[in-house]
Amino acid sequence: MTHCDVLVVGAGPAGIAAAATAAEAGRRVLLIDDNPAPGGQIWRGHAGSAGAGQPHSAPYTKWAQSLIAARVQLLSATRVIDRPHQGVLRVESESGSADICFDRLVLATGARERFLPFPGWTLPGVMGAGGLQAMVKAGLPIAGKRVVLSGSGPLLLAVAANLHRHGARIAGIFEQASLPLILRFAASLVAQPGKLLEGARYRLQVISTPWRASAWVTRAHGEDCLQSVTVHSGSGAREIACDYLGCGFHLVPNLELPRLIGCAIQDGFVRVDSAQQSSVSHVYCAGELTGIGGLDKALVEGEIAGLAAAGRSTAHLARRRNRALQFARNLDRAFDLRAELRTLPGPQTIICRCEDVRFSSLQDAHCVRAAKLHTRCGMGPCQGRVCAPATAFLFGWESDSVRPPILPATVRTLARHCESVAPGTIES
């Protein structure tokens, strides 16, 4: 069994900052991530010369160098599937499975896009805005393709600018939040001019692209693939031809592992104290797990978690953290989802893509458990990662449980676990 002083799960900005900081403080640190390379979504593709000139390349270079200098052990393409015992996580990679024992744990598992179902959202060519950006970074040819972006949050503009740099023809950016709320949010950034300038740069890169507030896609059209979308705005509805629709309604945290460990959840995020410690002793959380707030919040919370896990003071970072938290609160208020979006799905709209569960089949259910029992909603391969945030918004349902394995695991790994249980005993 591998042992480390501090185990960090998630190699995005928060995880990298936590791992490097704890290692610089003299602790033996192991950083694991399920992606082939560290960086997370925001720093995807920044490694090597390809990252030069990309947004946020300077902080990436700084922290990547710190990670190497601090001699942090990194396990990429490795996913956590279970917590068999207190102080132990079970992981799996292509080379097999292993149990990792730790004294302190930092969780920085990030967030994913929230999808809200509407007629046609399962057509090929419809995907998350961030997912489309990730595919383009991985080599998806987008030059000359017509792209519509719809949903909510600053990610839409960032994705538009990135796709435009790769030659995409952005046919429109449609933000569901109202213009007054967005202007109020922009005014709040006067104290943080760097963020204001970043947003302005993104907009200037796609200045010729129509951008509309209080607007959103209500339907996707096509036979075998996406051909056009219908957009609702204050001036009515209109149809726009496109090859791709990037659609995402802000972000939701990846709470499966914190829930499995027993971390208290409050208002949809892990509850932490001023040292980023969760309700579980010696378990710290940073980044999107504690609130959606962007790169600066992720980095400062990662530093705090790393220092706290190493037993060092974090008082000198309190001011930076408070400023980042205020930005996160302003972000939530500005891009809060409007009630009209609950009317997007029709009776035959698929809500759970894994199990082909339609909206009409869920309307009589009163909770997640009832929906699972009667329709298998949330019981497919993604284990509710797509439909659970949608049903939480549409019906107000809260997730009731998390069971291992929290990610798909091989039969070999599961069998090995069973072999370690003494005959005649049952593990809870």
Paired tokens of 44:
């995807």
Rg from Cα positions in the chain? 22
Q: Are the beta carbons of 378 and 57 closer than 8 angstroms?
A: no
Q: Name the pLDDT band for 49 (thresholds 50, 70, 90).
A: very low
What is the percentage of the chain residues whose pLDDT exceeds 70? 95
How many whole angstroms separate alpha carbon 10 and alpha carbon 27? Answer: 18
Mean pLDDT across the chain:
92
> Which is more confidently placed, 68 or 1?
68
Q: Which fold has domain 115-249?
A: FAD/NAD(P)-binding domain (3.50.50)
Give residue 330's pLDDT. 95
Give residue 91's pLDDT. 97
How many whole angstroms separate alpha carbon 97 and alpha carbon 23? Answer: 25
The CATH class of 2-112+252-313 is: alpha beta
Q: pTM for this one? A: 0.92
Q: Are the beta carbons of 101 and 1 closer than 8 angstroms?
A: yes
Give residue 427's pLDDT. 44
pLDDT, one tens digit per residue, over 237-266 is 999 999 999 999 999 999 999 999 999 999
Q: Is the model's pLDDT at 56 over the cut of 80?
A: no
Q: How many CA atoms lie within 13 A of 70 on its CB side?
A: 26
Angle, vertex CA 268, rays to CA 312 and CA 42, nearest 5: 65
- Which of 41-45, 208-212, 347-351 bottoms out in mean pLDDT, i.e. has the lowest? 41-45
Mean pLDDT of 396-407: 86
